[in-house]
Structure 1
Amino acid sequence: MAPEESTEAVRLLPSFERRFLAARALRSFPWQSLEEKLRDSSGPELLLNILQKPSGDSVTLSESTAIISHGTTGLVTWDAALYLAEWAMQNPAAFAHRTVLELGSGAGLTGLAICKTCRPSAYIFSDCHSCVLEQLRGNILLNGLSLEADVTDDSESPRVTVAQLDWDVVTAPQLAAFQPDVVIAADVLYCPETVLSLVRVLQRLSACLKNQQAPDAYIAFTVRNPETCQLFTNELGIAGIPWEAVPHHDQKLFPYEEHSEMAILKLTL
């Protein structure tokens, strides 16, 4: 293989691995270019480099094929969930040996990645939609994790629970019972109504946990509408919840839209 061909192959491989191994849509992948490199290669090195890469643990998901199904968008994985999962795997100390509460877990990708790679002591998946909760429980079992009642004392897996949690009606005592050390959410800032509901539930969490060390909260989102993002930070200020932007990470493990602008805010409740 000529030097320039080798350089092109190195450039293509990471993109191919992320997309192929994640079994995501490959419409934008330059198949013709890869086919030419494979055809012109004098040996099997390029193909071996693709197939013999060491792989870590995997996350398997059952998802809807429709963006909106059963009146909810929670049956598919959105880009910010992938982005937050990547950040978590690069920063496992933020979750290790801690109780994590996820608000709006959806299909469960972020939580499953954290449970498998960050060693939390307990993880609470939550959502409000019955179909989402049913799919979520199935995905947890699909990935070899047990729900709390099935976990033995000597298990190395985190204690995993699934909670039905409606942000608009959940009470302070119900939130206090979770006793989280870390709170996370991904791609839940899609309209002003959900922004206001999220800030209210964060306020309740902050109030009911005031007698313990303040938990950190990490909210990841795709910047689709700057006004919605601005509303979120404004409402956090009104609620007296400090926040700071988490630096962008460079660990690209999952395929999502290259042009998407993602952000994570770290809040102190």
Structure 2
Amino acid sequence: MSASPEGVEAAGPGAGDLVLSFQRSFFTMGRMDSLPLPELEERLKNSDDSTLIQHILQQHEMTGAEPLDDLYDALGEVLRSEELKMCHKNYFLLSGENIRLGENVAIISEGTTGLVTWEAAQFFAEWAMENSEVFNCSILELGSGIGLVGITICKTCTPKQYIFSDCHPNVLQQLRTNILSNGLLLDSDTWNAKDCEVEVKNKYVSEENQGPEITVIGLDWSEVTQEQVELQPDIIIATDVIYDPEVVLCLVSVLEKFLISNERKEQGSVVYLASTVRNPETYHQFKMELDKVGIGHQVIPGPTRKIFPYNRCTEIELLKIVFAHHL
């Protein structure tokens, strides 16, 4: 986000980065040890005025969130309690706008890992914002989870069509809710406002402010229909979907089906896949399976700007995937 120059300059050199670091970690419900509290405390000790605190409060008020004390209490409850299922996290963009997502506190819940935002999703969303010209087309996202990547692209890039997909009914439910909560228009055939349990009276997309055509579909990789294959998106994206050897064969099969179908197009389709390399053997297996069916892949540079507060020491790799003869 863009910080107020007057407030940052008055607070002293480096205050802007400190404010942004604190704000991004705090509003994504980061762990206490991820907040730059020692740096903040040291700066306040050496400061003769309260400019820095005032600036943090001003930036907070711009989000329209609850009072700061309530947020601290809520954050503490999340960190202390395993019983609380859902929380709301705010991911700030460079524009100052924020993406608000309902997420599950537990990493695995209701038989799925899709109700939380993973690091590779934040990584890819950063890359997408730096390469917005890539996404002026139709896009299919596999394993959308709760929607950070897709919502970021729909709000900061200019896709013509964006298709979110997942296979878990509870993930699809929360995904629809998050899309609507961020002021995006969802195809009326793919959602039921009552089921989503979200108020949309303050959210609108007018004819003068039309965004991309957005749909949400249930897509089970083991049972992909011919109708789904014929969607023929220009770009297919996926993040953090390589975590289980049993999933690898299904994923490669799905990619092969879409790429074969889209060969009829002049340029075919391109797949962008970002992965946190947790198990090198599983990740290597994925690449080997791609080679077996003639799908080429190359590693491309990741994002250069730090926007979201994930661990930068995590090994995340971004692949561009096409049929080998297109490389």
TM-score normalised per structure 2: 0.74
Q: 2:12 matched to 1:28?
A: no
Q: Report which stretch shifted further, 252-261 or 16-25.
A: 16-25
CA contact (8 A) 2:274 2:318 kept: yes
Equivalent residue for 1:130? 169
Quick one: distance in 2 between partners of 1:126 and 1:90? 24
The Cα of 1:49 is off from its aligned counterpart by 5.2
Identity %: 48
Runs of 5+ consecutive residues of structure 1 not aligned to the other structure: none
The Cα of 1:51 is off from its aligned counterpart by 5.2
Quick one: distance in 2 between partners of 1:52 and 1:30? 18
Match of 1:260 among 314, 319, 325: 314
Runs of 5+ consecutive residues of structure 2 not aligned to the other structure: 1-10, 60-93, 190-204
Which structure is richer in relative contact order (CA contacts within 8 A, separation 6 or more)?
A: 1
Match of 2:115 among 71, 75, 84: 75
Q: Which amino acid aligns with 1:115?
A: C
Match of 2:101 among 30, 40, 61: 61
SS in 2 for 1:139: helix
Q: Report which stretch shifted further, 8-17 or 216-225.
A: 8-17
Q: Which amino acid aligns with 2:282?
A: T
CA RMSD of aligned residues (A): 2.3
Quick one: distance in 2 between partners of 1:44 and 1:250? 33
Quick one: distance in 2 between partners of 1:11 and 1:139? 28
CA contact (8 A) 2:132 2:157 kept: yes
Equivalent residue for 2:235? 182
Equivalent residue for 2:257? 204
Equivalent residue for 1:229? 283
CA contact (8 A) 2:22 2:36 kept: no
Equivalent residue for 1:220? 274
Q: 2:191 matched to 1:191?
A: no
Quick one: distance in 2 between partners of 1:41 and 1:155? 45
Quick one: distance in 1 between partners of 2:307 and 2:17? 15
- Map 1:231-250 onto structure 2 (within 5 A): 231-250=285-304
Quick one: distance in 2 between partners of 1:161 and 1:152? 17
SS in 1 for 2:221: coil
Q: How many residues align?
A: 263
The Cα of 1:145 is off from its aligned counterpart by 1.0
CA contact (8 A) 1:99 1:120 kept: yes
